[in-house]
Structure 1
Amino acid sequence: MHCSVTLENMKRWVKMIRFIGGLCLVTLLGIAYISYLCHNSLCLAPERFSLSTKHSVSASSSSSSRSEVPSSPTSTAKLVGGLASTVNIESVAFKEAYEMGFDITDRDVIVFLHIQKTGGTTFGRHLVRDLILENPCNCPRKRKRCDCFRPNTINEQWLFSRYSTGWKCGLHADWTELTDCVEGALDEYEGLARKRRYFFITVLRDPIHRYLSEFRHVQRGATWKGARHFCGGQEFTSLPHCYKGSNWTGVELDEFMNCSYNLAHNRQTRMLADLTLAGCYTGYNTTTDQLQRDRILLQSAKQNLARMAYFGLTEQQAVSQYIFEQTFHLDFENPFDQANATLSAQAIAELTPAQIERVRQLNSLDEELLEFARQLLQERFQLLKRRDPHFRQNWLRMVHPFKSERNDANSLV
């Protein structure tokens, strides 16, 4: 009898142990699944789409005045560490770029952040067709893209741009998208995971001219529907459109300006800023904290621009070309042509004073960003000029390629 009771107790213990073991297994599987979701940023989404406490305090304490947003390159340098960064890739800043140069044979990659209607299409073609290289990009006829492979490789890209790799991070990908996507996109393209050094570059334009150029482009039927708007671990596919139907062809300027969620407004600031710092696209242009959000975006855009290896200005082609060549130690075969602003000037001439003022208001962040960029561009130009023992020859080659140095000594900047 005693043995029978003991055997029954043992069976109960075995069943209990199996039951507990099953619970443990289910729990472990649940934890593993949740970890997988978090790794893919899904469970963190609500937190990443809100303004952090740190930035809310900083912005709200000075939301009544834009003057506290750094407006000079020197003050922007102090921002490092002031804003949290989500960039996990190795990004090369201007100083390191011009001191060490660009190594096309190793792991360096130029990443072109192409903002709409800034002259980026022309500049992008210069990059693939006009650089003097030992192994130039291969640009087959009747094909839009070129193969810009490193010397002695068959698929390693040194240029990430529209005319080399295509829109692998989305149509006109912004800073937030590119820094999150570029390394994975190149790993997939090349079939090899590796760490690279990224040299981010861009081109900026006068905000009024750029805005009106985009308006005319949209008026002719452009939509940029292929843009991904990827931010904070997810793609925002439900952003509202300003138009019904397939496009906004024939839109008038007042209607174009009156759409509060038109991404043309302050486009350059938005595309250069880390959008995760201001809630991504959640409540875009509709929140009660719009001044706070604007301040964060402008501050972030200035910081990212200052950290970029290179940027140019459409209005200053020669200076922009000189800075690029000296920074990367690469020369262009032909000088950049000064952008023709006739169409934009004509469009501005047709506007009423009230419309011009409205355009300025809608692009006030871009106006402040451009003023900052002009100062920073001149600082970089003067620095490189002082360090260049052949400045006179290099400069004349860009501004007057077919004239002698003696005849044009007075044309130097």
Structure 2
Amino acid sequence: RKFYYITLLRDPVSRYLSEWRHVQRGATWKTSLHMCDGRTPTPEELPSCYEGTDWSGCTLQEFMDCPYNLANNRQVRMLADLSLVGCYNMSFIPENKRAQILLESAKKNLKDMAFFGLTEFQRKTQYLFERTFNLKFIRPFMQYNSTRAGGVEVDNDTIRRIEELNDLDMQLYDYAKDLFQQRYQYKRQLERMEQRIKNREERLLHRSNEALPKEETEEQARLPTEDYMSHIIEKW
């Protein structure tokens, strides 16, 4: 069997707000082991943002203020090879160098994937998936913009703060959008080229049929079909 890694990326601000709403309702990631290089992070390497069973009811400000919040740059962290930076050991290398290595690793892994999609471009995502894996969905993807994140009203200062907290994700998403459009345009050009070749072959076939002598065409029409001849032979 051949396996493919695929993923869907989302606008970092919308994704961050959506995760906050999810956590606010009581969601946790306690079952996530965060395995890296064969071990889980220590409590010192990955402190908790809250005390108790969950962080339900947290405000957006509280969510943003936690320096250990794994929601920050989540997409880069989940795509990158954390072993390159000492996993969750923040003292392994300087922070700026760590950030750059993670970003470049995430970009490389994204580029190496046979397919990835963008939540904000559902129809194009469907098209790319179908063309990449030669599959056809029964129904077209729908672009729903009324999400939980879309229902959150935040001011410009808050948006800028979220962008700062997710600076690596913002850079990754810009890269992903450009790569996504390149792949989409390539597949569209390939489809148009295949259609032109198909049309040309059909025209050539049509012309060759028209070029046959009338007597030969009529004689071919009178010949028994292959199925009919097989039936006669079997009966005989």
* TM-score when normalising by structure 2: 0.77
Give the 3-state SS of the residue equivalent to 1:388 in structure 2: helix
Give the 3-state SS of the residue equivalent to 1:343 in structure 2: coil
Amino acid at match of 1:264: A
Give the 4+ runs in structure 1 shifted more than 3 A: 389-392
1:218-367 correspondence to structure 2 within 5 Å: 218-236=23-41, 238=43, 239-283=46-90, 289-347=94-152, 350-367=153-170
Counterpart position of 1:213: 18
Amino acid at match of 2:175: F
CA contact (8 A) 2:21 2:149 kept: no
1:106-255 correspondence to structure 2 within 5 Å: 107-108=1-2, 198-236=3-41, 238=43, 239-255=46-62
1:30-109 correspondence to structure 2 within 5 Å: 107-108=1-2
* Counterpart Cα distance in 2 of 1:320 and 1:364: 24
Runs of 5+ in structure 2 lacking a partner? 196-236
RCO comparison, higher one (Cα < 8 Å, 6+): 2
Q: For residues 295-325 of structure 1, what are the alpha-carbon distances to aligned partners after superposition, in whole Å with 9 as ceiling and x for unaligned?
A: 0000000000000011000000010000000
Amino acid at match of 1:213: S
CA contact (8 A) 1:240 1:261 kept: yes
Counterpart position of 1:136: none
CA contact (8 A) 2:24 2:59 kept: yes
Amino acid at match of 2:52: G
* Counterpart Cα distance in 2 of 1:262 and 1:357: 17
* Counterpart Cα distance in 2 of 1:328 and 1:201: 11
CA contact (8 A) 1:302 1:369 kept: yes
RMSD: 1.8
Give the 3-state SS of the residue equivalent to 2:89 in structure 1: coil
CA contact (8 A) 2:23 2:56 kept: yes
Give the 3-state SS of the residue equivalent to 1:255 in structure 2: helix
Q: For residues 228-278 of structure 1, what are the alpha-carbon distances to aligned partners after superposition, in whole Å with 9 as ceiling and x for unaligned?
A: 111112122633110000000000111111111100000000000000011
Give the 3-state SS of the residue equivalent to 1:222 in structure 2: coil
CA contact (8 A) 1:229 1:237 kept: no
* Counterpart Cα distance in 2 of 1:266 and 1:294: 10
For the structure 1 residues 330 and 288, does the alpha-carbon distance in structure 2 shift closer, same or farther, using more than 3 Å as the test?
Answer: closer
For the structure 1 residues 335 and 237, does the alpha-carbon distance in structure 2 shift closer, same or farther, using more than 3 Å as the test?
Answer: farther
Q: Considering only CA atoms, is the larger Rg found in Structure 1 or Structure 2?
A: 2
Amino acid at match of 1:257: M
Amino acid at match of 1:310: F
Q: For residues 325-379 of structure 1, what are the alpha-carbon distances to aligned partners after superposition, in whole Å with 9 as ceiling and x for unaligned?
A: 00001111111111334532331xx223322111010011111101100110111
Aligned length: 193
* Counterpart Cα distance in 2 of 1:252 and 1:264: 14
Give the 3-state SS of the residue equivalent to 1:311 in structure 2: strand
* Counterpart Cα distance in 1 of 2:83 and 2:93: 18
Identical residues among aligned pairs (%) = 51
